[in-house]
Amino acid sequence: MRSAVSIALIALAAAIAPCHAADESRQELIRKRSADVMPFDLKATTHIFTKTMTGGVQRVVARDPDDTKQIELIRAHLREIADEFRLRDFSGPLLVHGAAMPGLAALQAAPAGELRTGYRDVASGGEVEYSSTDPKIVDALHQWFDAQLVDHGADAMPGHDRLMQHPQ
């Protein structure tokens, strides 16, 4: 019996290992592509993705709150992203994550004005709020956030899930 359990555990580990290696190689590819799109140092920052009932908030902060250079670069980049999305320009995410990124095709297909963005400065960085009244666009934003969490690995984290919070 013990050998059957051992064999099962070894088989499970062998099945999981290629997925983990694939994730790591994908994350390394994303780091390299990100350097061409994002002006700040990924290792000096953290991406935080928080889903909301109307879309979500993408926050990027410097890991060192005294790193004014990274903070300036974060803010400039996120302002640019908010403006580009408002103009339906998704070239940044396409270059970093590829055309097959979950949610991205639906965001690209959204009617003009249906995907709204807003930028604001936060302590040590900035954030972009993405919103829509169309449930399909909201779902696409959530898929897009989930894909970014996987692609950015240790450089990203989920925020407090505000999906269940209702506006007051």
Residue 53 has pLDDT above 50, yes or no: yes
pLDDT digits 0-9 by tens, 19-47: 333 467 766 656 665 556 677 787 899 99
162 token code pair:
């505000």
pLDDT category of residue 17 using cuts at 50, 70 and 90: very low
State which H helix or E strand residue 15 sits in: helix 2-37
pLDDT digits 0-9 by tens, 137-157: 999 999 999 988 888 777 789
- The residues facing 123 across adjacent strands are none
Cα atoms in the Cβ-side hemisphere of radius 13 Å centred on 100: 1
State which H helix or E strand residue 50 sits in: strand 45-52
pLDDT digits 0-9 by tens, 91-139: 887 777 677 889 999 999 999 899 999 999 999 999 999 999 999 999 9
